[in-house]
Each structure stands twice: as structure tokens, then as C-alpha cells.
């Protein structure tokens, strides 16, 4: 498998490029608008053809490259069926598989950070969006976030995957690049709670500033990355 983890310094976002083989079709997860050129160049350098770009959820901290990539490469753009983005060409639902030339990516509905959050799973790894971060979890205090739903997504879905499943989040603010389900179960401070109620209390007790780009990013991302004119 061809796999690249790409980083946006501005928003600490990870973008993932996946393909089963050289010369084959490729998939991008959570691309950032400012790096659209870099993605297109890398896809080209690796001899790949971009056929699909997916956002795990409507992001509040960066503008998506979905629209730009669609315009430049004619790739399909996908989000979950709950998403209010108006311009995606394909909507997936829980349990559905996205087939990209030898890769079969399972969509797992994991609401909580937002009500349109999905995780994307391959046999050995899971892309957890902002649901499960390395030693953290995504905030639940805006965009229809719901800490109880997030508890269910974590404990009912993601943490039931095999312990050696690799965890690739949409962000990291501490320089970590990858973890495993087993490692997070044991060492993620947010997951050391006795029950759902305790998790809800923990999340509701966090005091967090809004992301710097939120007022720009959310409306732009509902339009696949087109910023509205002032
Ligand atoms: Fe997010």
C-alpha cells in the first residue's frame, strides 16, 4: 500500500493519501485548501490518479480542499449522509464501503465532535477524524457536538476494534503521528472514565477558545471550500 501522512502547520491537520499500488487510484482524507497544489503534485510524482477526496466531518479550523481538488482532477468528493455540505458528489452512511482500486474503506459513523463525524477504516488502521485523537478526543462544544454521542462512538465503536489497529487522527498538537487502539485505551486520559455520565461531565467542563478560522471555515466548508465573498 502507498500511504502518506501530510501535515498542515497552520491548523495542525493531518491529511492522508492512500493507494493500493503504483499507477493506481488514490484517495485523500481531510485535504487542506492551501495545499491542493502539493497534493496534486505528490499524486503525480507517485504515478497515481486521484479519484476520491473525503472529509471526515465539516472542519472548523481549516478550509477543505475538496472543491479545489474536484475542479483540478475531476475526483469524486465524499462526506457522510448527515453532512450539510451542499456540494459533495457522494454521500456514505454507516457501514458502507468506499472502493478505490484495491482498497475497501469502511465508513463508521462516529458522531460527537460534530453530528456528521465519520471514522474511516482499513483492516490494519482507522482514520478517526476528530473523534479519537492521540491522548485526547475532539471537542464537543459546537457544530452540534454531543459528548454523550461521542462516548458511544468511542466506547461502542472505535475502542471495540482490535487493540493493534493503528490510529491516525485528523489533528495532533503535540508532535504525535500515530497510535493504536490498545495504547489509547490504556493511556488516553479522556478514556479513563467510569461511565458515560462521567465522560459527559469531563467534556462539558472543558473551557476552550473557538478556533481562529471558525467563522470562515465552517461556511466555506459547507460549500466544499469556496469562501463566500465579503
Ligand atoms: Fe474538527
- Residue 15: CATH number of its domain: 3.60.15.10
Domain extent for 68: 2-207
Average pLDDT over the chain, rounded to an integer: 95
| 5-8: long-range pairs with CB below 8 Å, 24+ | 5/168, 5/177, 5/178, 6/35, 6/38, 6/39, 6/42, 8/32, 8/34, 8/35, 8/62
Instruction: Determine, yes or no, domain membership for 143.
Output: yes
d(CA 117, ligand 1 centre) in Å: 8
Q: How many CA atoms lie within 13 A of 14 on its CB side?
A: 24
pLDDT for position 14: 98
Residue 124 Cα distances to 55, 103, 189, 203, 214, angstroms: 20, 12, 24, 29, 33
pLDDT for position 229: 46
| pLDDT (mean) for 101-108 | 96
pLDDT for position 228: 55
Residues 13-58 have pLDDT tens digits of 999 999 999 889 999 999 999 999 999 999 999 999 999 999 999 9
pLDDT value at 227 more than 70: no
d(CA 214, ligand 1 centre) in Å: 10
d(CA 171, ligand 1 centre) in Å: 8
Instruction: Determine, yes or no, domain membership for 217.
Output: no
d(CA 60, ligand 1 centre) in Å: 6
Instruction: Determine, yes or no, domain membership for 228.
Output: no
Percent of the chain past pLDDT 90, that is, above it, reads 88
**H or E stretch covering 78:** strand 76-80
| pLDDT (mean) for 128-137 | 98
pLDDT value at 211 more than 90: no
Instruction: Determine, yes or no, domain membership for 182.
Output: yes
Instruction: Determine, yes or no, domain membership for 224.
Output: no
> How many CB atoms are closer than 10 A to CB 226?
18
Percent of the chain past pLDDT 70, that is, above it, reads 98
Instruction: Determine, yes or no, domain membership for 226.
Output: no
User: In terms of pLDDT, which residue wins out, 226 or 134?
Assistant: 134
d(CA 67, ligand 1 centre) in Å: 18
d(CA 129, ligand 1 centre) in Å: 7
By residue count, the chain amounts to 230
Instruction: Determine, yes or no, domain membership for 220.
Output: no
d(CA 162, ligand 1 centre) in Å: 25
Q: In this structure, what C-alpha cell is assigned to residue 60?
A: 472548523
CA separation for the pair 218, 220 (Å, rounded): 5
Instruction: Determine, yes or no, domain membership for 60.
Output: yes
How many domains in the chain?
1
pLDDT for position 214: 87
End-to-end CA distance of the chain: 43
pLDDT value at 145 more than 90: yes
pLDDT for position 141: 93
d(CA 85, ligand 1 centre) in Å: 14
Residues 147-195 have pLDDT tens digits of 999 999 999 999 999 999 999 999 999 999 999 999 999 999 999 999 9
d(CA 131, ligand 1 centre) in Å: 8
d(CA 138, ligand 1 centre) in Å: 7
d(CA 174, ligand 1 centre) in Å: 16
Amino acid at each position: 500500500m502507498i500511504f502518506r501522512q501530510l501535515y498542515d502547520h497552520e491548523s495542525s491537520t493531518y491529511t492522508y493519501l492512500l493507494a493500493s499500488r503504483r499507477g493506481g487510484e488514490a484517495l485523500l482524507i481531510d485535504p487542506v485548501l492551501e495545499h491542493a497544489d502539493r497534493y496534486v503534485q505528490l499524486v503525480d510524482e507517485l504515478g497515481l490518479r486521484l479519484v476520491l477526496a473525503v472529509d471526515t466531518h465539516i472542519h472548523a479550523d481549516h478550509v477543505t480542499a475538496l472543491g479545489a481538488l474536484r475542479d483540478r482532477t475531476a475526483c469524486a468528493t465524499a462526506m457522510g449522509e448527515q453532512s450539510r455540505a451542499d456540494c459533495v458528489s457522494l454521500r456514505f452512511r454507516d457501514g458502507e464501503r468506499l472502493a478505490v482500486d484495491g482498497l475497501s474503506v469502511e465508513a463508521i459513523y462516529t458522531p460527537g465532535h460534530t453530528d456528521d463525524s465519520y471514522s474511516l477504516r482499513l483492516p490494519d488502521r482507522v482514520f478517526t477524524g476528530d473523534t479519537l485523537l492521540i491522548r485526547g478526543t475532539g471537542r464537543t462544544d459546537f457544530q452540534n457536538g454531543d459528548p454523550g454521542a461521542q462516548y458511544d462512538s468511542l466506547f461502542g465503536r472505535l475502542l471495540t476494534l482490535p487493540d493493534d489497529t493503528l490510529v491516525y487522527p485528523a489533528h495532533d498538537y503535540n508532535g504525535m503521528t500515530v497510535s493504536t487502539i490498545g495504547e489509547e485505551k490504556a493511556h488516553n486520559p479522556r478514556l479513563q472514565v467510569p461511565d458515560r455520565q462521567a465522560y459527559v461531565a469531563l467534556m462539558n467542563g472543558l473551557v476552550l477558545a473557538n478556533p481562529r478560522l471558525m467563522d470562515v471555515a465552517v461556511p466555506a466548508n459547507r460549500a466544499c471550500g469556496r469562501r463566500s465573498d465579503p
